[in-house]
Amino acid sequence: MDLITTTNVLADFCERAQKFDFVTVDTEFLRETTYWPKLCLIQAATDDEAVLIDPLAPGLDLAPFFTLLANPNVTKVFHAARQDVEIFVKLTGEVPHNIFDTQIAASVCGFGDSISYDNLVRSIVKIELDKSSRFTDWSARPLSEKQRLYAIADVTHLRDIYRELREQVDRTKRWDWVEDELGILRNIDTYVIRPERAWERLKMKVNRPRDLAALQKLAEWRERKAQETDQPRSRILKDDVLFELAQQRPLTPDAFEKLRAVPRGYGRSSAAAEIMALLKEVEALPKSALPPAPERYRGPSPKGAVGDLLRVLLKSVSEQHGVAARIIATSDDIDAIVLDDEADVPAMRGWRRKLFGEKALDIKHGRIGLVATRKGVVEFAVKQAEPAE
């Protein structure tokens, strides 16, 4: 298992790989101290061979491999593809063509939510993997024999898993389910992080328009800083600091010193100067330029009886179709549906809507009910009362 370290050898492998229907792909990378993942190793396998590619080798040009990724006639098989694909999008500017994710396929074939690769190998290939090398330093050279064995196993067993899952998806006629999920992975917007929308990723919320305007500006500033300096967001500013700054909006170094979340002396740093300039812009905004405050919801609580009924429905649907409940809808999805008939959540799109979302709306509006029987929970139509004359 020698590493491929020269462009000529890589080009030869990629030329051979182009002749196959599919190639399995995996990567090893580091990201603990950077914003962008540092690619350390690429693993790839066809029916005939499996290789390790060293992207850190001096003079190695990955262009032949990128050409293979762009070939629409060869399916690129990943497991839990999102982070791997993100790396290739960063390097090439586009999503690999014709990708397939075995974690997605497994989720619609009854293997549960977000099943790990080693568990899938155990279930389908009947082999126990040694995962002790998972968190080793993949940037260090030379790689140990144990690391190489670990890495190559991530693409060799994937071949058998892919074939088995394809057969199961064919048999259950669930290709539309798989394709809906793959559509997200194949969309470049999944991987392109726009700083101006960074605030949408934050979990905490603010209710006042000027606080929200400040939070949007601060989150955008942090995202740009993190990208430009290749540092994790938390090393620029932690989330709780963003929220305190957005609500307190310090405009002088002394005001910074009164904040609990900010390190002492931070108010006199160059970063604080940039933040104060942003906050002064926010303070100067007229009310008409501020983002609208979130509307107060006055309908049923998502944690009340309606939400409970939808959770019973979800359990029934998941048992009926042999799919993990979380694959169909999350608890957040259910809360959102209770709050809004047009909720923009996965459970209200594609196959999930057909399987669960439409029934959830019917229950919410009293069009169907649920009854417990010896065979499980059964749905029944509710007769609507005649309107009074």
Taking residue 175's Cβ as centre, other Cβ atoms within 10 Å add up to: 15
Are the C-beta atoms of 339 and 302 separated by less than 8 Å? yes
Q: pLDDT value at position 133?
A: 86
Q: Which long-range contacts (CB under 8 A, 24 or more apart) does 301-310 make?
A: 301/338, 302/334, 302/335, 302/336, 302/338, 302/339, 303/335, 304/338, 306/338, 306/363, 306/364, 307/334, 307/335, 307/338, 309/363, 309/370, 310/334, 310/337, 310/338, 310/360, 310/363, 310/364
> CA 153, CA 139: separation in Å to the nearest integer?
19
3-state class (DSSP) for residue 73: coil
> CA 29, CA 336: separation in Å to the nearest integer?
35
State the alpha helices, DSSP H only, in the chain. Answer: 7-17, 63-70, 82-92, 102-107, 117-120, 145-172, 175-186, 209-229, 233-236, 239-248, 253-257, 270-284, 305-321, 325-328, 331-339, 350-352, 358-364
Residue 142: cis peptide before it, omega within 30 degrees of 0? yes
Q: pLDDT value at position 20?
A: 98
239: tokens are 């989330």
Are the C-beta atoms of 23 and 44 separated by less than 8 Å? yes
Q: pLDDT value at position 25?
A: 98
Question: Who has greater pLDDT, 384 or 16?
Answer: 16
> CA 190, CA 175: separation in Å to the nearest integer?
21
3-state class (DSSP) for residue 318: helix
Tell me which of 73-87, 196-210, 213-227 is least confident.
Answer: 196-210
pLDDT category at 303 given cuts 50, 70, 90 is: confident
Are the C-beta atoms of 282 and 218 separated by less than 8 Å? no
Tell me which of 84-98, 120-134, 151-165 is least confident.
Answer: 120-134
pLDDT category at 197 given cuts 50, 70, 90 is: very high
Count Cα atoms within 13 angstroms, Cβ side, for 258.
Answer: 8
C-alpha closest to that of 247 among 265, 259, 235 = 259
Tell me which of 199-203, 292-296, 350-354, 361-365 is least confident.
Answer: 292-296
- 326-383 pLDDT tens trace: 889 999 999 999 999 999 999 999 889 999 999 999 999 999 988 888 777 777 777 5
Question: Who has greater pLDDT, 176 or 139?
Answer: 139
> CA 162, CA 33: separation in Å to the nearest integer?
33
> CA 206, CA 245: separation in Å to the nearest integer?
12
> CA 245, CA 201: separation in Å to the nearest integer?
17
CA distances from 387 to 301, 362, 367, 384 (A): 27, 19, 15, 9
State the alpha helices, DSSP H only, in 108-238. Answer: 117-120, 145-172, 175-186, 209-229, 233-236
Regarding beta strands 75-78 and 22-30, do their DSSP bridges make them parallel or antiparallel, or are they unpaired?
A: parallel
Tell me which of 10-14, 109-113, 147-151, 338-342 is least confident.
Answer: 109-113
Can you give the pTM of this predicted structure?
Answer: 0.88
CA distances from 196 to 165, 201, 224 (A): 39, 11, 9
The H or E element that residue 378 is part of is: strand 376-381
* 9 has pLDDT over 90: yes
CA distances from 148 to 17, 119, 137, 309, 353 (A): 21, 20, 12, 50, 43
CA distances from 358 to 73, 176, 188, 204, 353 (A): 37, 17, 29, 30, 6
> CA 197, CA 113: separation in Å to the nearest integer?
28
The H or E element that residue 51 is part of is: strand 50-53
